[in-house]
Amino acid sequence: MKKIFKRILFLFVILSHSVFAENSITSIKLTNLNEALQIGLKNSKRILVSRYELDKAKGDKITASLRPNPYISLNADVFPYYKGKFDPEAQQYGINLGYQIETAGKREARMNLADKNMKVTELLFAEAVRQVYLMIGTVYYETLAAKERLLLAEDNYTAMNLIAEINKKRLSKQDISNLELIRSEVARDQYATQIIQNKVSYLRSKAALTVLLGHDSNKIDIQINENLAFPNDPPEIQVDTAIQSALHGRPDYLALIGNEELSISNIRLQKSHAVPDVVVALDAFNQQNQKFYGATVTVPIPVFSRNQGEIAKSIATKKQAEKSKEELYLNLTNEIKILSEEIKIRYSAIKNINQNSIIKSTEAIKIMELAYKSGGATLIEYMDTRRAFNETRLMLIDTLMQYETVLFRYKYSLGFDLNLNTE
């Protein structure tokens, strides 16, 4: 009796834990990709990490606007307050108050550099968001495709299971051989295995999407209430116009233009550092009860160091920025040309598959199912037709996924405006 009670208690604990675990998972339902992008913008860890670069750039602006601190120097060479060896009248002490005057517009150059750096940082942040969007879009459509493959495998299993059940009845009536029943059951079991494999792929895609959206896949379950469907007509693409749009709207390209301007500002700043600053100080001394006042001006003589190294580095950085911009221009134009052609090719493939292969394979499987159930076709013929239907559907799913992904990538290859409010 005690053993039975312990077993019941153990099962109760296990079931309670399972129910609690299921209830602890929050479901997020998505109806389209834009909803996923908005969630990613708010919660993506990559975006949040990149956002701190904006705070750092703001800190640089504050630092650049600061002026040098004045300094004070106190000295007491002989300062006894006791009678003895030293004469109290021999007290010697003084104060020195000074300030460094920046020359050659150093502060203005620093502030200008910080402003340019802030603009570049904003563009780089927008580019980081664009890259995250591209990853989210790619994984989103991969998840949709994985779901479609899972549904297809389940449909195939249901259809093949029905054939296996029919064959059991036929075998009981001795209308077919036991071998034919085994073949139909093996085919059904193969689709059952396919369901498991597709389910694993679907779960992996959902987990990857969940992480990209900034959530814990162990606590959040993403549910996409959307299916891959036949798309509308592709956009009319004028490659030259698209390239010009990208040159004026892509944050990565605009950031490289900003880097050129930033490097020019840095050259000005480094050249200003070649001009020495002036330190002006006021002095007051007391020596043997005699007070003295004066002023000191200190100017370094730029004989050896004139900031040559930093000036050379800043010039090299400018040339580097120019070449980086040229390289991105080539990659950008090439990317848009390829994407524009790929959109046409993918859409043509979808149209061809949908209007020819899908219609024919769907009609063929319907006819073959009726023929096999009525005894007018062999199991081998039915299985071959089912396999062709399955391969055609998989080909359509892959092509739809690739088309939607390419269309999405093309959209964000033209530009990206995040409308940042960084003040």
Name the percent of the chain lying above pLDDT 90. Answer: 70
DSSP string covering 201-265 = HHHHHHHHHHHHTT--TTTEEEEE--------PPPP--HHHHHHHHHHH-HHHHHHHHHHHHHHH
Average pLDDT over residues 29-41: 92
* Per-residue confidence (pLDDT) for residue 138, from 0 to 100: 96
Is the confidence at residue 66, as pLDDT, over 80? yes
What digits encode the pLDDT tens for the residues 113-134? 999 999 999 999 999 999 999 9
> Which 8-state DSSP code applies to residue 92?
E
Mean per-residue pLDDT for 191-212?
Answer: 94
* Homologous superfamily of 45-82+105-276+313-413: Outer membrane efflux proteins (OEP) (1.20.1600.10)
* Token reading at 74: 């106190």
Interval 79-105 mean pLDDT: 74
Nearest to 393 by CA among 423, 365, 419: 365
Q: At 303, is the secondary structure helix, strand, or coil?
A: coil
**Gap between the Cα atoms of 394 and 372, Å rounded:** 24
Over residues 145-194, the pLDDT tens digits come to 999 999 999 999 999 999 999 889 888 888 888 898 899 899 999 999 99
Confidence band (pLDDT; 50, 70, 90) for 376?
confident
- How many Å apart are CA 386 and CA 7, to the nearest integer? 47
Task: Give every CB contact of residue 17 below 8 A, 6+ residues apart in sequence.
Answer: none
Residue 119: phi and psi, rounded to 5, are: -65, -40
> According to the 3-state scheme, what is the secondary structure of 33-90?
HHHHHHHHHHHCHHHHHHHHHHHHHHHHHHHHHCCCCCEEEEEEEECCCCCCCCCHHH
Is 25 a residue whose pLDDT tops 80? no
Asked if 228 contacts 148 with a C-beta cutoff of 8 angstroms, the reply is yes
Which of 411, 410, 418, 421 is closest to 40 using CA atoms?
418
Question: Residues near 343 by Cβ (< 8 Å), separated by ≥ 6?
Answer: 234, 235, 237, 403, 406, 407, 410
Whole-number pLDDT of residue 423: 40
Q: For the chain, first and last CA: distance in Å?
A: 73
Rounded distance, CA 48 to CA 125, Å?
10
In angstroms, the CA 272 to CA 53 distance is 27
Residue recorded with tokens 């290859």: 413
Token pair for 265? 């500002």
Rounded to whole angstroms, the Cα distance separating 31 from 251 reads 28
Pairing of strands 290-298, 92-101: unpaired
